[in-house]
Chain A
Amino acid sequence: MPEVLIIGAGPAGLAAATAARRAGARVVVLDAAEDVGGQYWRHLPQQRPAGREEVLHHGWERFTGLRRELTGVEIVTGAQVWLAERHDGRPPTVHILVGPADGADRVRRVFDPGALVLATGAYERTLPFPGWDLPGVFTAGAAQALAKSERVAVGRRVLVAGAGPFLLPVASSLIRTGARVVGVLEAGGWSRLGRAWTARPTELLSASHKAGELAGYARDLVRHRVPYRVATGVIAAHGHDRVEEVTVARLDAQWAPVPGTSRRVAVDAVCVGHGFVPRSELAVAAGCQTGPDGTVVVDADCRSSVPGVFAAGEITGIGGADLALAEGTIAGTVAAGAAPTSAQRRDVLVYQRFATRLSDGHGIRPGWAEWLADDTLICRCEEVTAGELRDIAAATGSRGLRSLKLSTRAGLGVCQGRVCGRSVEELLDRTTGGLLDPGRTANRPLAGLVRLGELARTQGDPS
């Protein structure tokens, strides 16, 4: 049995693993991908390594350093955690299947860890808009992943839109893989961005390499004459078989389109991302308390509300890789029974302030619902439109998300609301005058797809 089990091998998980190992614990790390690194350090497969990965990756040396330190840590890649069985007062039993998801013979393993570190990261969030289901419309994260792991640009003439500093590295990656980026559109306005990024400037100095990283992306944009517009968004995509044009409009402070400001822009691809949602279903299943924004509530030691369960990285609040590394270090150290240094604690505070600026400047505002048409798909798996959501909510009069999901089928498809859940919940909350069971979106006891044959196989004894 491992003393410390870590779920997720991105920045937070790797930092936790090395910290727990340094503190002398037996450590097991699980990740669903084929290699460690997570979304942030997504790279070419080891069979065909790139000559200079660092060109597309910030902190690549930090990654290779962490990877070297993993000696003695058991790494289980291709590990799909499908169930965290809650217990009272101790970490959950963690059930996993190991092997390619489409393979017939995944191996079932069960862990009863002494301490559990959840470092499961985030899903990206893309707000729906008319035409967002056309081929050629990509989430910002998908475009970034293609650039990082396949060195492929999603189009030749590409617009990047949405909210948050993540748009900058996406634009930068597109440029470096040969695309022409015709613009980067940020939904947040100068006044909010300005307040968020210019308040208490000395704080930013302590996170100076973070600011420097952003400045590097900005230099890429300037060098390639890519216009950066604020208070602007893509509110529709048009085309027959794939996207040919998008409608761009100015957005007011609440992100509602300003009438009379829309114009068409010709593109062959558009990358849209509005931020990230904590990937907290395992934390919820384990019984961890979550906040209204879906983040896992932790103390300064990264302890969740469940004894022995720690959380680090994006699931405690969207803050980027540096905060994830700092939190992972704390979580791994404390999970292994040691005490973090004061410098390690200071790192967390510095990057937390950075995270606060992120949500202050770029957090989603409710006006986005104004750019929806009645026939805009909200739930793509089950093909539920904005009009159907509104009509069925009105017909039933229900104020229950559970009931409305069942009567509209929104969020019941194969993605189980991972793509649309927040948007469905926000639209219904507004339509019903307030849901009585909000925050259910991360309630997914089954954390992944499992074949019945795999389920039926006799359970192994806890390892």
Chain B
Amino acid sequence: MRVVVVGAGIVGAAVARELAGAGVTVTVLDRAASAGGTSAAGEGNLLVSDKGPGPELVLAQRSLTLWQSLRDELPDFPSVEYEAKGGLVVATTTAGAAGLRRFAESQRGAGVLAEEVDPHDLEPDLTRDYTAAFHYPQDAQVQPAIATEALLAAARRRGAEVRQGVEVLGPISLHGRLAGVRTSAGDLHADHVVVAAGPWSGEVSSRLGVMLPVRPRRGTILVTTRMPQRIRHKVYDADYVGAVGSDDAALQTSSVVESTASGTVLIGSSRERRGFDGRIEARVLSALAAKAMVLFPFLADVAVMRAYGGFRPYVPDHLPVIGPDPRLAGLWHATGHEGAGIVLSAATAELLADLLLGRETHVPSSPFAVERPTLASHLASSV
């Protein structure tokens, strides 16, 4: 069986590795270089703490299990900087505290470890002005660009071919089904085509003949200069949970603060819907800085040396799209992971491979199906 995977980000890389491991002949295409889009523009979150009960949490929990074995798969490779550091979610208002307690209670019912703590036992430099704090020991972190390259290297070792700088131009159709792709480097025949192009998945899908409502949701991150480690967990304010699930197009910021293996501190995260507009704006940077200082007042004197932005692949009902496209036989999707693609890549790849190879799935697939009810109106309205 031959499969073309479009997109050499973390989802495409994980899918290629999984399929190649099952003996499939895999070719990964990317119009640019590997790990050059959304996968290189985030913090590398492996989180369950920001997800309420539901299918995305189930996918994340399965993913965390898979990441445990993935992280050590490539001994001769630069470290993916996997760190089971745990998350600390902090509320700073009375209403926020009540909301956070309710949210954590619902998560515990779904198997998430969440414990109300005195946060200064975990983070001595945290603000004294907090109203509630929960520790999530399952949260972890990787360096996302290296993790993507590691998965691609693993796919290559299993026989996959990775072709960078090759752009998909259109479909090769045969008897009403997709039989490959026309590319900037010639035709490529395949039994199945998997679109894993992140926020550009809508564009790739339309070139292949179907409409998929994947859109970019802008995010910006600040990076400080190196400093002795004073932040040990992934620390974020309770507003983050609300912002992740929000439909608001206007700028939203919530604070996510953490140290990296290299000694820098990453400060996120902003969410804006404004297309593929990559401008860095002072008002966004100001808002990020102000919110980070609410959590860690000492950051006021720390210097920022870099700001970068990226685009999360966003679907109207906030769930990834994983599985076959009923409108075009041979076309598959693995996209729409919004800000959770790094963690979800592992179980997404497993689920897609299970479906494609006719195996029993480890998690229910219907919530992620293209034909799910919550996506139907968006598909119909724009075909």
Contacts and interface: CB of A to CB of B under 8 A. Distances in A.
A338 B88 CA distance: 60
A117 to B, nearest CB: 21
A451 B300 contact: yes
Nearest to A414: B225
B304 A455 contact: yes
Interface in B278-312: 279-283, 285-286, 288-290, 292-293, 299-308
A85 B279 contact: yes
Interface stretch (A155-163, A207-215, A326-334, A390-398): A390-398
Contact of A395 (B32, B78, B290, B301): B78
A455 B286 contact: yes
A435 B32 CA distance: 10
A459 interface: yes
Contact of A449 (B225, B283, B289): B225
Interface stretch (B15-23, B34-42, B268-276): B34-42
A276 B179 CA distance: 52
B91 to A, nearest CB: 20
A400 B303 contact: no
Contacts of A444: 306
B162 A397 contact: yes
Contact of B307 (A95, A409, A445, A458): A445
Contact of A459 (B153, B162, B283): B283
Contacts of B225: 414, 449
Contact of A93 (B33, B282, B286): B282
B207 interface: no
A455 B40 CA distance: 24
A225 interface: no
A436 B306 contact: no
Nearest to A415: B305
Contacts, number: 146
A446 B280 CA distance: 9
A445 B34 contact: no
Interface string A402-427: 11001111001110100000000000
Interface string B119-159: 00000000000000000000000010110110011001000
A397 B153 contact: yes
Contacts of A110: 282
Given A397-B34, A403-B148, A456-B290, A85 B302 contact: no
Given A451-B300, A451-B301, A402 B153 contact: no
A395 B34 contact: no
Contact of A403 (B40, B156, B302, B304): B40
Contacts of A85: 279-282
A20 B262 CA distance: 47
A416 B299 contact: no
A455 B222 CA distance: 11
Contact of B165 (A395, A399, A446, A457): A399
Contacts of B292: 452
Contacts of B36: 400, 402-403, 436-437
Contacts of B288: 455
B292 to A, nearest CB: 6
Nearest to A93: B282
Given A399-B33, A402-B33, A452 B224 contact: yes
Interface residues of B, number: 48
Contacts of B280: 83, 85, 285, 445-446
B285 A83 contact: yes
Nearest to A443: B308
Residue among B153, B262, B288, B307 facing the most chain A CB atoms (10 A cut-off): B307
A382 interface: yes
| Interface residue SS majority, chain B | mixed
A450 interface: yes
Residue among B164, B288, B290, B299 facing the most chain A CB atoms (10 A cut-off): B164
A51 interface: no
B282 A95 contact: yes
Given A397-B152, A452-B292, A436 B32 contact: yes
A398 B34 contact: yes
A450 B282 CA distance: 12
B282 A459 contact: yes
Given A392-B78, A399-B164, A406-B143, A456 B35 contact: no
Contact of B35 (A406, A409, A459): A406
B145 A403 contact: yes
Contacts of B162: 397
Contacts of A449: 225, 303-305
A382 B283 CA distance: 30
A397 B292 CA distance: 37
A86 interface: yes
A450 B304 contact: yes
A330 B161 CA distance: 54
B360 interface: no
Interface in A431-454: 435-437, 444-446, 449-453
B295 to A, nearest CB: 11
A400 B35 contact: yes
A398 B33 contact: yes
Contacts of A458: 286
5 contacts: A398-B35, A402-B145, A407-B149, A453-B301, A455-B304
Given A85-B282, A395-B78, A402-B35, 8 more contacts: A396-B34, A400-B36, A403-B33, A403-B36, A436-B33, A449-B304, A452-B224, A455-B289
Interface of A: 83, 85-86, 93, 95, 110, 285, 382, 392, 395-403, 406-409, 412-414, 416, 435-437, 444-446, 449-453, 455-459
Interface of B: 32-36, 40, 76-78, 143, 145-146, 148-149, 152-153, 156, 162, 164-165, 222, 224-226, 262, 267, 279-283, 285-286, 288-290, 292-293, 299-308
